[in-house]
Amino acid sequence: MHPSRYKMAAVLFLVTAFLAIACLAGSLFLSAAVAQDAPPRPPVPSKESQARARALILEIFKADLAGATEPAAQIKLAEYLLQQGKDSKDEPGNRFVLYTYARELAARAGEASLAMRAVEELARSFDIDALQMKAVTFAETVANTQSKEAGKAIVDMVLPLIADAVDADDYEIALKLAHVAEDAAKKAKSLALVSAIKKRHDDIKAVQEKFAVLKPYIDRLKADPKDAEANYELGRYFGMLKGKWDRALPLLALGSNAGLKAAAAKDVARPQEFKDQLALADAWWDLAAKEKDPAKMNMQVRARFWYEKSLLGLTGLNRTKAARRIELISARLEGTPAEVPIGPVGELKKLEGQIGEIKSVALSADGRHVAAGGKDQTVYVWNLGTGKIEATLKGHTNEVWGVAFVPNNRQVVSASWDGVARLWDIKSGTEIKSYKHPKDVNSVAVSRDGNQLLVGCDNRRFYLWDITSGREIKAFNGFTDFVYAVAFAPDGRHVAAGSKDNSIRIYDLVNGSQVRVIDGQNNAVHALAFSPDSRHLYSCGDSYAHQWDVATGKESRRFQGHIGPVLGLALSADGRRLVTGGDDKIVRLWDTATAKQLHAFKGHSDAINSVAISGNGRFAVSGGLDRTVRLWGLPAR
């Protein structure tokens, strides 16, 4: 048996050693405040400047543009024009038109990720409505999308933008994006996805209608920030309809409803004594009893926040009351889709019950469940709505080092040092199928369509399996030591694996040939993740997280901040957020575009082996040697 991966990494690195918005205007117009803090972007070049640039570009690229009639040629030319735009630093007119041509070509080719890169460059360089342009661009791209995989990829990219638009109360854009997502879901030929997006569209429409009624109150607050009735109406909207208490509390604290005003004022003050926290939770609970859903639900969620805060200091009947109300609210939330439980930035829950050290964690695609495997040879599945263990999966005879959900959210795969990967049914707790290997297995990954499985093995190989039939499709060679990490590229073209020999190898999924070797890490590769557009690969294992360019094998970004080895990483579905954890017991959140650390989460008492992030990047989970899984609320973008 090889020694613990964590212990080896630790030895190598031993020597390296107001929640509410500040003011009312900021609460209502947060996006405007952010824009004021950021450096102003130049205006869009004049029509005359664009015309001159277009004439020059047509003169140079006329034949290329005329010949780009097929997707492959359009993509190639779009990439070239995008780079030309980046090089045109002193010519804003040229840069704007080059990016625009790149956007249009990529959209015509149905290449969503490339089209979005062009939009992002436009948004970075000029004062444009980026969300509006993304909606238009996605609509154009979907019209030219043919494959089911491309349709599903667009849905994954659009859904976070819908959430951003709703958060900004830009309902017209949110509805446009919902239409785009529905068209993409139809291209993906997924009835369940189409139905879910139709429901989302109806929800947006309902909130939009309620928000329209608030326009007079917004105008009144602009004229008089202390207008009690306007504060009350807007506070009810943000808190009780949308559950956005950071925006609602300062408003309600200035509002005309005495009960809500008193509770909100105490909430803004952030009580520290357990008895005061309990009293505040009771106040929200009693106020919720007078309401109907969704106001009742959102107010009970706020009550739960303070019940959980107070629980550690309570005894006797007060503790029993708080615990029962937490359980009741959690049970109500169990039927809530995706991003539950709702909570603030920071630690939301500590999930306990696992006997041994935790080696791997995974989140289900719908955000309702987390799975964890570890030293006690068992896989545990928690329901995030209730915080309780829903399934205990036993059958392995050695430590479990890898877990992954199948996209249907009903099954989970585990990998153990007993040499076997196992497919489990969560509801029944039974093993469906096993995939046997000649030596210990360390990691698993499931393909986007749920049909294939990758498993990393100690015999210096990794394996591709057909999940349903249990048939071994292919074995990949090339490493000189144990394979610790595996990953599928979202575009379905490549797979990657990382090894104790410090290397990362990328292979063609169809013919099995090796297409790239990356040797830039200074320690064993512990985790891998492809970007949504499959153009970048993220890795960790030494004291950094790395972003690699798949085409060149060169490091394009380095995420620096951990002390000691980084043992786990996970990437959000839109590729904008990276979560890492490691030997320093800290979970860190990063902006992938800048490699800037956005937040550091402390709570674990020992090294963190594995992390996962929800689809929209709003919460994360982590597991480690302290035998706990922790659920973290991430800050909004």
Look at residue 1 in the predicted model and tell me its pLDDT.
Answer: 45
- Range from 200-204, 369-373, 550-554 carrying the lowest mean pLDDT: 200-204
How many Cα atoms sit within 13 Å of 258 on the Cβ side? 0
Query: Does 478 score more than 80 pLDDT?
Result: yes
- 123, 104 contact by CB (below 8 A): no
Query: Does 473 score more than 50 pLDDT?
Result: yes
* Range from 114-123, 234-243, 248-257 that averages highest in pLDDT: 248-257
Q: Taking all residues of the chain, what is their mean pLDDT, rounded to a whole number?
A: 86
Query: Does 338 score more than 70 pLDDT?
Result: no
Query: Does 147 score more than 90 pLDDT?
Result: no
Which helix (H) or strand (E) segment holds residue 121: the answer is helix 112-125
Look at residue 405 in the predicted model and tell me its pLDDT.
Answer: 95
Give dist(CA 481, CA 460) in Å, integer.
5
Which residue in the block uniquely carries the two structure tokens 């394979």? 483
Residue among 622, 616, 614 at smallest CA distance from 581: 622
Give dist(CA 33, CA 108) in Å, integer.
36
567 CB-near residues (< 8 Å, 6+ apart) = 5, 6, 9, 526, 527, 540, 541, 581, 582, 583, 607, 608, 609, 610
The residue ranges of DSSP E strands in 550-616, in sequence order, are: 555-560, 566-571, 577-582, 586-591, 596-602, 608-613
| 21-32 mean pLDDT | 34
49 CB-near residues (< 8 Å, 6+ apart) = 92, 93, 96
Using pLDDT thresholds of 50, 70 and 90, give the confidence band for residue 335. very low
Tell me, yes or no, if the pTM score tops 0.85: no
pLDDT digits (tens, 9 = 90+) for 44-100: 999 999 999 999 999 999 999 999 999 999 999 999 999 999 888 788 999 999 999
Give dist(CA 415, CA 455) in Å, integer.
7
Query: Does 18 score more than 50 pLDDT?
Result: no
Roughly what angle, to the nearest 10 degrees, separates helices 228-236 and 215-223? Answer: 140
Using pLDDT thresholds of 50, 70 and 90, give the confidence band for residue 33. very low
The topology (CATH level 3) of 341-633 is: Methylamine Dehydrogenase; Chain H (2.130.10)
| Upstream peptide bond of 532 is cis (omega within 30 degrees of 0) | no
Look at residue 107 in the predicted model and tell me its pLDDT.
Answer: 93
The residue ranges of DSSP E strands in 364-410, in sequence order, are: 369-374, 378-383, 388-394, 400-405
- 523, 542 contact by CB (below 8 A): yes
| 423-446 mean pLDDT | 93
Query: Residue ranges per domain, the chain?
Result: 341-633
Query: Does 35 score more than 50 pLDDT?
Result: no
Query: Does 394 score more than 80 pLDDT?
Result: yes
| 177-184 mean pLDDT | 91
Query: Does 3 score more than 80 pLDDT?
Result: no
Count other C-beta atoms under 10 Å from residue 89's C-beta. Answer: 10
β-strand partners of 446 = 453
Which helix (H) or strand (E) segment holds residue 83: the answer is helix 71-87
Give dist(CA 381, CA 363) in Å, integer.
10
Using pLDDT thresholds of 50, 70 and 90, give the confidence band for residue 587. very high
- Range from 46-55, 225-234, 255-264, 304-313 carrying the lowest mean pLDDT: 304-313
Give dist(CA 513, CA 444) in Å, integer.
20
- 499, 482 contact by CB (below 8 A): yes
Give dist(CA 95, CA 80) in Å, integer.
13
pLDDT digits (tens, 9 = 90+) for 284-331: 999 999 998 888 989 998 998 898 888 768 888 998 898 888 878 866
What tokens appear for 125 in the block? 């360089």
Give dist(CA 305, CA 365) in Å, integer.
25
Query: Does 388 score more than 90 pLDDT?
Result: no
Look at residue 333 in the predicted model and tell me its pLDDT.
Answer: 60
Query: Does 336 score more than 70 pLDDT?
Result: no
CA torsion sign for 152, 157, 161, 163 is positive
Look at residue 199 in the predicted model and tell me its pLDDT.
Answer: 85
Please give the C-alpha separations between residue 160 and each of 196, 575, 616, in angstroms, as whole numbers: 14, 11, 5
What tokens appear for 34 in the block? 């952010």
Look at residue 2 in the predicted model and tell me its pLDDT.
Answer: 55
Look at residue 12 in the predicted model and tell me its pLDDT.
Answer: 39
| 121-129 mean pLDDT | 90
Give dist(CA 559, CA 481) in Å, integer.
26
Using pLDDT thresholds of 50, 70 and 90, give the confidence band for residue 22. very low
| 336-348 mean pLDDT | 56
As a whole-number percent, the residues of the chain with pLDDT over 70 amount to 91
Query: Does 591 score more than 60 pLDDT?
Result: yes
With helix as H, strand as E and coil as C, how does 499-543 read? Answer: ECCCCEEEEECCCCCEEEEECCCCCCCCEEEECCCCCEEEEECCC
| 253-257 mean pLDDT | 96
